[in-house]
Amino acid sequence: MLTACQSVPTVEKSAAETPLPEAEQAEVFFAPAEKVAPKAAGKPPADLWERIRLQLSWQSIHNDQVGRARESYLRQPNYLKVISARADLYLHYIVEEVERRGLPIELALLPLVESTMNPFATSSEQAAGLWQIMPATGKHLGLEQDWWYDGRRDVRASTRAALDYLEMLHASLDNDWMLALAAYNSGKGRVLRAQKKSRQRGRATDYWSLELPRETRKYVPRLIALSQIIAFPDAFGVEIPPVANSPFFAVAETGGQIEMARAADLASVEMHILEALNPGQLRWATSPDTTQELLLPVDAQEKFSAGIASLTEADRVRWKHYRIKRGDSLIRIARNFNTEVGLLREVNNIRGSIIRAGDTLMIPYGSDWASSLALTTRAEREQRSYRVRRGDSLYLIAGKFKVSINDIIAWNSLDPGAYLQPGQRLTLYVGGS
């Protein structure tokens, strides 16, 4: 779930490595260095995959583990299509950050292995985001995590933290990228213990020689195998949909807490795109405690900034603190403050309808606009049943039906950390305002 970084991997050859025969290497993908396209001296490539391809250096590593990982990828015909669709939004930024630090470009592919480039992914062990960072590790790396916001899901914050962590692991594990990656996945302590045991038995201490957990033994080969397929797609008979070699998003200041639905309207951006670019924002409005900014498509930034400048204080999210009285109910309180019961539950983290006299509720007000746009009732929408298909994700379904990911989760009482299953039935409410 976490690793280290630099420029060219330090890989010790061991008995665990079994190179392919020379003839097969030449025919399949292990082309001699002089046959690999040199870095373009002039105009940069239009395709981001080509930019990555020109910098890959690990694709000549081969053994049985890498071979099995490669075959596993090749048995998934939709994998690269799904990855490229998500990569449109995030990969250019990650590549820029990896290059800026002078790290191996292969590290930019790590989110493909960790989360299939899905910032909403959550593992059974609660690792989250593109880089699958555990809660405790996230706190150690300075990522904020609260009811409003999770830095492990934030595209920029998680990338910074993951690359910081990878660099630290690399420096502390013999400057060996394979060991650093193993430590990212299973922990530095586990790698050091495996090295100690191997040393006591008179064996080599490189990654390929260590007795590591099954998942960690597969982890590094997956990244290497993926780099091979991206390096030589024609040799493997695969087509990788192009990804623009240009930024998809820009940073826009919000000037304060703002409802996500209002932000989408100001920027003229579909709600599912705004959520996909800002997965760290967990609620109906931006966090009041973090930097007041959102990521937006590059071409939406100017319009959004103009809209933000025109907002009055009354347009902002404002709060009342209401002490619950005997005989109160959520329905009565919502009616009195011209808001929605669902919003009161959301803001105050209430399950069900039970409230207690004497407790205090936070009530957002001045949000009639949000009620009419973001909280369209089910009665105003057409109910549809959708059957999940292979390759589907919450992100893809939300985009297809122009609804929010959070709505799909709420309508179907889904566990955000669980994977959708082919054949699974979802209830959707589409249309409306």
Name the maximum alpha-carbon separation found in the chain. 83
Active site residues: 114
d(CA 433, CA 425): 25
Q: Are 122 and 416 in contact (CB under 8 A)?
A: yes
CB burial string 184-219: b at 16+ within 10 A, e below: bbbbbebbeebbeebeeeeebbbbbbbebeeebbbb
Phi, psi for residue 319 in degrees, rounded to 5: -130, 140
Residue carrying structure tokens 């001699």:
32
Q: Are 293 and 303 in contact (CB under 8 A)?
A: no
128 forms beta bridges with 122, 133
DSSP symbols for 59-109 = TT---HHHHHHHHHHHT-TTHHHHHHHHHHHHHHHHHHHHHHTT--GGGGG
13-to-17, 178, 196, 295 alpha-carbon distances in Å: 7, 12, 19, 44
